[in-house]
Structure 1
Amino acid sequence: MPAEPSRTRPTALAVWLVLAGAIGWWAAFSLTMERFHLLMNPGATASCDFSPLVQCTANLESWQGKVFGFPNPILGLAGWVAPIVVGMAILAGARFARWFWWAFTLGITFAFGFVVWLISQSIFVLGTLCPWCMVTWAVTIPTFYAVWLHVLRTGIVPSPSALRRGAGTLMSWVPLLAVVSYAIIAVLAQVRLDVLGALF
């Protein structure tokens, strides 16, 4: 299979993947430990329960918190290893085949879709904001943008030259895209849950 078309090592992307992977893994680990705490101490509350609005317990104990039959954080413990490994490999000089980038991008896309669904469930169904979940959201969203723009700009995903140039330009705008996404989530949470009123 053909290797990645770009001759330039995506160092900034690699650094972000390592950073995002480490943060996401720590959030998943923390949530897993909270789940163990709740299982071993029935009736207890998680240490990240700050109010009826900002808490982890409701999310962890809901069916949404174990969609696949086990706690969602376990997905994070396994899944966040991939960006760390890919990022470190790029920094070490590795070049991946096109099929590998496709598989990695599909994995990131699944993570993004799952996070979007979890955000909707938290805001519109559970009515809570889980702190460690929000950390996961915060790193998944820009990772999705960065990986997709990379595979588009390098031609890993076949696309017209204009789209490749546009993706290359947008790569430097990933932080802004992420901030806009956070703002949309914040507005939805405020409209639905009156976050400011609950906190102040």
Structure 2
Amino acid sequence: MVPPSEPLTRTRGLGIFLVIGGAIAFAAAFALTLDKIHVLQNPDSQLSCNFSVLIGCSKNLASWQGALFGFPNPLIGLAAWSVVITIGMAILAGARFARWFWILFTAGVWAALAFVIWLIAQSIFVLDVLCPWCMVTWAVTIPTFWAVTLYSLKEGHIPASASVRRRAAAAYSWILVITVVCYLIFAVVAQLKMDALGRL
């Protein structure tokens, strides 16, 4: 367990972020789930998330990539972000988690990031369309990955050398900048491959 002497202020910021970020991503997953149900009920319907040939969700929902595990991907989001929100609320309530919990949670956000990177690549290089609700989820997953990973490293929940912990602690203060850099990389790749600005 986390030592009782650990100030709760160390985790309060993380808890707030997990609740707010998780709620935003959950809302996106919920909206995409409703759109999927709407398409199943009315295959020829036009969804409100379809803004142009570049920005839309119908193509993603209809593709095999949109149901990688045999069911719609948004259902994964509904389940996963519910867990993230719950963890955030538990942190704010003063819960203290064991090391194994943080290791599993960190492994979960690594898996989430890998899945998101794959989805981004499929959207840009294969489907040639950007799903707005998907992008909201991507936008939350990236800082969640950095926040949880760097926190786990700097607090010693993940075994690492003292120098790695110091670097993680320093980087933790720069999560916003790191996240913006990740967004810019995504934007540049989308522009180079899809001519995003020219198709808006």
Q: What is the TM-score with the length of structure 1 in the denominator?
A: 0.96
SS in 1 for 2:49: coil
What's the counterpart of residue 173 of structure 1?
174
What is the identity, as a one-letter code, of the residue corresponding to 1:14?
G
Separation in structure 2 between the aligned mates of residue 120 and residue 61 of structure 1, nearest angstrom: 17
Native 8 Å contact 2:191 2:197 kept in 1: yes
Separation in structure 1 between the aligned mates of residue 193 and residue 7 of structure 2, nearest angstrom: 45
Native 8 Å contact 2:53 2:199 kept in 1: no
**Structure 2 gap ranges (5+):** none
What's the counterpart of residue 71 of structure 1?
72
Native 8 Å contact 1:4 1:154 kept in 2: no
Separation in structure 2 between the aligned mates of residue 194 and residue 34 of structure 1, nearest angstrom: 27
What's the counterpart of residue 87 of structure 1?
88
RMSD over equivalenced CA pairs, Å: 1.0
Counterpart of 1:4 (choices 2, 5, 8) is: 2
Separation in structure 2 between the aligned mates of residue 60 and residue 187 of structure 1, nearest angstrom: 24
Q: Alpha-carbon deviation of 1:7?
A: 1.3
Q: For residues 28-72 of structure 1, give each alpha carbon's deviation from its aligned partner in whole angstroms, at most 9, with x where no partner exists.
A: 000000001100001112210011110000001000000000000
Separation in structure 2 between the aligned mates of residue 42 and residue 198 of structure 1, nearest angstrom: 26
SS in 2 for 1:80: helix
Q: Alpha-carbon deviation of 1:8?
A: 2.9
- Point out 4+ residue stretches in structure 1 off by more than 6 angstroms: none
SS in 1 for 2:173: helix
What is the identity, as a one-letter code, of the residue corresponding to 2:111?
F
Separation in structure 2 between the aligned mates of residue 45 and residue 110 of structure 1, nearest angstrom: 33
Q: Alpha-carbon deviation of 1:83?
A: 1.2
Q: Alpha-carbon deviation of 1:104?
A: 1.1
SS in 1 for 2:109: helix
Q: How does 1:1-200 map to 2 (within 5 A)?
A: 3-4=1-2, 7-9=6-8, 10-199=11-200
SS in 2 for 1:156: coil
Native 8 Å contact 2:56 2:130 kept in 1: yes
Aligned length: 197
Q: For residues 46-102 of structure 1, give each alpha carbon's deviation from its aligned partner in whole angstroms, at most 9, with x where no partner exists.
A: 210011110000001000000000000000000001111111111111000111111
Native 8 Å contact 2:147 2:172 kept in 1: yes
Q: Alpha-carbon deviation of 1:106?
A: 1.2
Which deviates the most, 162-171 or 22-31? Answer: 162-171
What is the identity, as a one-letter code, of the residue corresponding to 1:118?
L
